[in-house]
Amino acid sequence: MKVIFAKHIGFCSGVKRAITIAEKSLEEDPKPIQFLGPLVHNEKIIEKLKKQGGKFISNLKEISSGTLILRAHGEILDSTKIGKKVLIRDTTCPLVERVQRTANFLFKQGYRVIIIGDKNHPETKGIKECVKNRAIIIENGFQAKNLPKLKKIGVVSQTTQNLNKVNQILTILKNKVKEFKWVNTICPEVIFRQKELSEILKKADGTLVIGSHSSANTRRLVEIAKKSKKPAWWINSLEELKKINFKGISSLGVISGTSMPDREIQKIRKYLKKVKRNSSSSSPSLP
């Protein structure tokens, strides 16, 4: 079985930055080290941070001292609810901060802000809070078609959206208003991976997508892979991979979401290379 690994795989720069800040804080900052929600969307990273002494909380009332780490998705924090003795470390991805600033700028310019994104995702919620919760969140073309008439809209996107889907929604929105402004805020790394996956799908019989089921950008990759009508598997560990039989697959494309640890990908890469060596060309399957 031929294995085609994507060039863009493993952590993105935003995730690397968040983890670097968190691990340094765990070593140097006042204890306890508390995370307001999952730092990034990957269970293995969360498990590691817990082993290093990190405490994950969901309510600011739980904090009275130590250090508070804000997650990479762009938490909007009311500092008045935090005690002066608490040190705050913000790991918000710079690209997410850009979306927040852009949305706020459009809002101040008199545009009704439209966010193309998942309404329950923390990043989308944070963007909406930047415009006093007056933005409209659109998740699909149906909602775009049913958008009430507005004179002036400014559109941004959650950084991990599917580019093709966003373009389809934009086409609908353009025809509904007189004044329309779109600022492309999709993460370039996310776009690279989506485009690279499209190229891999032309060569591969099936696709292996690596990443957490809680990861939005990984979910987009899975959606693209499944749309091709070719077999697609979604895993988050080597243990899950070992349960899959790739019988009948002569070439397998492999790609990951942006919050998948590099060490886990290396385990998977090593295992697949071993399978490639041991499998015969006539019956390429996992043991």
Q: Which residues are catalytic?
A: 123
Cα dist. 195→9, 14, 175 in Å?
A: 13, 19, 27
Question: With the C-alpha atoms ordered 130, 133, 136, 139, is the resulting torsion angle positive or negative?
Answer: positive
State the Cα–Cα distance between residues 189 and 243, nearest whole angstrom: 30
Contacts of 72 (CB under 8 A, 6+ apart): 14, 15, 17, 18, 39, 40, 91, 92, 93, 96
List b or e across 45-83, with b for residues whose CB sees 16 or more CB atoms inside 10 angstroms.
bbebbeeeebbeeeeeeebeebbbbbbbbbbeeeeeeee
Contacts of 136 (CB under 8 A, 6+ apart): 112, 113, 114, 115, 147
State the Cα–Cα distance between residues 7 and 217, nearest whole angstrom: 16
**Selection from 217, 183, 170 nearest residue 197 by Cα:** 217
Q: Are 77 and 88 in contact (CB under 8 A)?
A: yes
Tokens of 141: 């073309």
